Amino acid sequence: MTAGALYISRTDFSRIEAAARINLPRESCGLLLGGSSDIGWRVTGVEESRNIAPDDRNDRFEVDPALLLKIQKAARAGGAHMIGVYHSHPNGGAEPSRTDVETSWQTGMIWVITAIDAKNTATRAYLREAEGFAPVPLQIMEME
């Protein structure tokens, strides 16, 4: 499962980076929907979440459990499955923070992280493995 890339449309990728900017100075967050195959993972949709971390914490994100429940129910009914999460690091780096390492436990999940400041954005993908986060190449598809 460690081989492969994360395939995402330009539209969904732009939504992730736009959410990071709109939510400044707080972290943005949301879910990645899609599936996996022998060439990697394919994002078929993104679902933005409210960040329910405490208001005074601009260095934390917490996905709304109501959204998680909604996606799980939809997946059981034949909808798209959650393959991972995305969130932003305002004024930080596009790699998992210590908090990300400490608070994530579900292996096999894709993590997309956008580093954002006043001028720049950088987005990278990782796979949460038992030992930690492994980088995954991000393939942006210009055609849907």
Cβ at position 7, least distance to Zn ion in Å: 23
100 near Zn ion (CB under 5 A): yes
* Adjacency order of strands within the sheet including 132-136: 132-136, 121-129, 110-116, 81-90, 29-37, 40-49, 5-9, 138-141
Cβ at position 28, least distance to Zn ion in Å: 11
With respect to Zn ion, which residue has the nearer C-beta, 59 or 141? 59
Q: How many other CB atoms sit within 10 Å of the CB of residue 99?
A: 12
58 near Zn ion (CB under 5 A): no
DSSP bridge pairs for 126? 111, 135
Residue of 97, 104, 121, 139 that binds Zn ion (CB under 5 A)? 97
Cβ at position 144, least distance to Zn ion in Å: 29
Give residues in contact with Zn ion (CB under 5 A).
97, 100
